[in-house]
């Protein structure tokens, strides 16, 4: 396998639309928003690329915003990725959702008469200087100017917002088609765009394009008239471990293609972030030799890029068309998969978060020069700040964030019935 950065094909026809390429546009084999930088030129026209980016690709990468934000990926503008929560969007490493001021709360102080005739004033502020300023405002507002306080108490209380609840909604026709598109792109790199634009792959190309041309209908939950050609797949035997030395870590994206000459089948498997597995039926009328080809990509911002190339055939079994899609509708597997991904992401990024916090606090406390003497007070201040920021970061996302299962996640009953009729047996 090799780490080639870009493929350039002298191809004049858009492999999806079948129309002439009037303006060639680099196409990311796997979505750039997921942290893969492998590009191919000569697959699609600029207009098709734009259509993908505003529909199925956008839908998939936004569904995975939580994981993208956790590992530190940025959006196209180089800004932090915002994650949707019940309270609005928030920056995983920055601001929580900004809450509108509640007018019912009134002034930032309270006045309570005491039985002995005295008045107790409590002030809420972000620091002691602001508290003193508000105290003066409170005295004027309560017509107590010139009065001498009998007793003054001040304290600092640090509070953290509760864990943010995030619903993860991954699945359905739009996301499946985005994954299928990545497999078609990979197939074009493996076999060449001219072969992918031909008859054996008409069905999968039409499947991908339906999600683009009917994006709004599918996004609104309207029925999908097409048979599923992509699905979640939790069969362990279909995803054996890669050979030693291939791959970068537990969060790798893995797109593997398998051509089966004897059965006439070409199918792909895709594992996003190493934990969310899909299978895609690319063709059931393939005429050619057996092959196995893979793209392995490290999505981490400071990662090692990607490798591509041919793999031993035993990396994926030879399957018939009915076997590619004949998997169990395993709701439990879906939940376990996403919860496992949450845990894996946290394990990978926690060390980085600690390093970032320590570096940030060191600069805030000691500055960028070494002229300032290090005192016990400075060390205590730095230690407290590190602890506070770490606790705050750990509260960003609830470890028990609910996993939402869309109603269109798995094939409907009639699709299963059609599959049973076609194969002569019920799906396993």
Rounded CA gap, 352 and 345, in Å? Answer: 11
Most confident range, picked from 87-91, 204-208, 320-324? 204-208
- Could you read off the pLDDT of 322-361 as tens digits, one per residue? 999 876 556 677 878 888 888 888 777 776 667 777 777 7
Query: What pLDDT is recorded for position 282?
Result: 97
φ and ψ at residue 39, rounded to 5 degrees: -115, 155
* Burial state string for 389-416 with b = 16 or more CB within 10 A and e = fewer than 16: bbeebeebbeeebebebeebbbbeeebb
Rounded CA gap, 328 and 339, in Å? Answer: 19
**Which candidate, 108, 105, 74, 106, places its Cα nearest to that of 91?**
74
Are 239 and 293 spatial neighbours (Cβ–Cβ below 8 Å)?
no
Lowest mean pLDDT among 70-74, 132-136, 177-181: 132-136
State yes or no: pLDDT of 257 exceeds 90.
Answer: yes
**Which candidate, 173, 85, 59, places its Cα nearest to that of 402?**
85
Mean pLDDT (whole number) for 136-147:
77
* Burial state string for 233-248 with b = 16 or more CB within 10 A and e = fewer than 16: bbbeebbeebeeebbb
Mean pLDDT (whole number) for 74-85:
82
Most confident range, picked from 189-193, 218-222, 243-247? 189-193
Mean pLDDT (whole number) for 308-330:
86
Per the model's pLDDT, the better-predicted residue between 229 and 374 turns out to be: 229
pLDDT band at 169 (very low <50, low <70, confident <90, very high): confident
Tokens for 188, please give them: 């074009």
Query: What pLDDT is recorded for position 164?
Result: 60
Rounded CA gap, 339 and 341, in Å? Answer: 5
Query: What pLDDT is recorded for position 340?
Result: 85
- Could you read off the pLDDT of 206-216 as tens digits, one per residue? 999 999 999 99
Are 49 and 228 spatial neighbours (Cβ–Cβ below 8 Å)?
no
Rounded CA gap, 410 and 331, in Å? Answer: 9
CA distances to 50, 85, 166, 409 from 226, rounded to whole Å, are 23, 32, 31, 14
With a CB cutoff of 8 Å and minimum separation 6, the contacts of 152 are none
Rounded CA gap, 211 and 205, in Å? Answer: 10
Lowest mean pLDDT among 137-151, 186-200, 307-321, 380-394: 380-394
Lowest mean pLDDT among 180-189, 260-269, 418-427: 418-427
Lowest mean pLDDT among 111-115, 278-282, 377-381: 377-381
Per the model's pLDDT, the better-predicted residue between 237 and 291 turns out to be: 291
- Could you read off the pLDDT of 27-69 as tens digits, one per residue? 999 999 999 999 999 999 999 999 999 999 999 999 998 889 8
Query: What pLDDT is recorded for position 102?
Result: 45
Tokens for 136, please give them: 């003066």
Query: What pLDDT is recorded for position 163?
Result: 56
**Which candidate, 292, 182, 189, places its Cα nearest to that of 243?**
292
Per the model's pLDDT, the better-predicted residue between 132 and 413 turns out to be: 132
Average pLDDT, the chain: 81
CA distances to 18, 183, 241, 363, 374 from 360, rounded to whole Å, are 53, 41, 39, 5, 17
Per the model's pLDDT, the better-predicted residue between 122 and 404 turns out to be: 122
3-state DSSP assignment of residue 302: coil
State yes or no: pLDDT of 260 exceeds 90.
Answer: yes
424: left (phi over 0), alpha (psi -120 to 50) or beta: left
DSSP for 26-89, please give it: -EESS-GGGT---EEESSSBHHHHHHHHHTHHHHHHHHTHHHHHHTT-B-TTS-BPEEEETTEE
Does pTM surpass 0.85? no
φ and ψ at residue 396, rounded to 5 degrees: -60, -45
State yes or no: pLDDT of 13 exceeds 70.
Answer: yes
Are 360 and 85 spatial neighbours (Cβ–Cβ below 8 Å)?
no
Query: What pLDDT is recorded for position 363?
Result: 76
Torsion sign (Cα): 64, 230, 246, 305: negative
- Could you read off the pLDDT of 367-426 as tens digits, one per residue? 665 566 777 777 777 777 777 666 656 545 544 455 555 555 554 444 443 343 333 333
Mean pLDDT (whole number) for 222-226:
92
């Amino acid at each position: 396998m090799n780490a080639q950065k870009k493929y350039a094909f002298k191809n004049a026809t858009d492999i999806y639309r079948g129309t002439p390429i009037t303006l060639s546009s680099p196409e990311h084999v796997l979505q750039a928003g997921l942290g893969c930088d492998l590009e191919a030129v000569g697959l699609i026209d600029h207009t098709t690329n734009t259509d993908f980016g505003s529909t199925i690709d956008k839908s998939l990468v936004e569904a995975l915003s939580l994981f993208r934000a956790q590992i530190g990926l940025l959006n196209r503008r180089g800004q932090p990725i915002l994650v949707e929560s019940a309270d609005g969007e928030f920056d995983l490493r920055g601001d929580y959702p900004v809450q509108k001021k509640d007018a019912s709360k009134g002034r930032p102080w309270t006045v309570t008469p005491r039985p002995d005739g005295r008045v107790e004033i409590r002030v809420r502020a972000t620091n002691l200087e602001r508290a003193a300023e508000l105290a003066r405002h409170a005295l004027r507002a309560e017509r107590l100017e010139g009065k001498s306080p009998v007793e003054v108490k001040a304290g600092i209380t640090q509070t953290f917002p509760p864990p943010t609840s995030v619903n993860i909604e991954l699945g359905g026709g739009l996301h499946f088609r985005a994954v299928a598109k990545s497999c078609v792109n990979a197939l074009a790199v493996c076999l060449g765009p001219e072969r992918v634009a031909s008859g054996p792959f008409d069905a999968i190309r039409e499947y991908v394009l339906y999600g683009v041309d009917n994006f709004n209908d599918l996004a609104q939950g309207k029925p999908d008239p097409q048979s599923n050609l992509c699905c979640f797949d939790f069969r362990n035997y279909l995803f054996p471990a890669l050979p030693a030395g291939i791959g970068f870590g537990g969060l790798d994206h893995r797109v593997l293609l398998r051509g089966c000459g004897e059965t006439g089948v070409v199918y792909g498997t895709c594992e996003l972030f190493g934990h969310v597995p899909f299978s895609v039926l690319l063709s059931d009328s393939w005429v050619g030799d057996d092959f196995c080809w893979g793209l392995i990509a490290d999505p981490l911002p400071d990662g090692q890029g990607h490798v591509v190339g041919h793999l031993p055939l035993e990396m994926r079994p030879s399957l018939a068309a009915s076997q590619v899609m004949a998997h169990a509708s395993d709701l439990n597997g879906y939940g376990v998969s996403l919860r496992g991904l949450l845990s894996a992401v946290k394990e990978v990024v926690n060390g980085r978060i600690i390093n970032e916090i320590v570096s940030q606090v060191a600069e805030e406390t000691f500055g960028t020069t070494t002229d300032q003497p290090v005192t016990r007070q400075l060390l205590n201040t730095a230690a407290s700040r590190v602890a506070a920021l770490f606790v705050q970061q750990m509260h960003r996302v609830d470890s028990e964030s609910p996993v939402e299962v869309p109603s269109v996640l798995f094939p409907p009953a009639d699709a299963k019935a059609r599959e049973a009729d076609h194969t002569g047996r019920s799906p396993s």
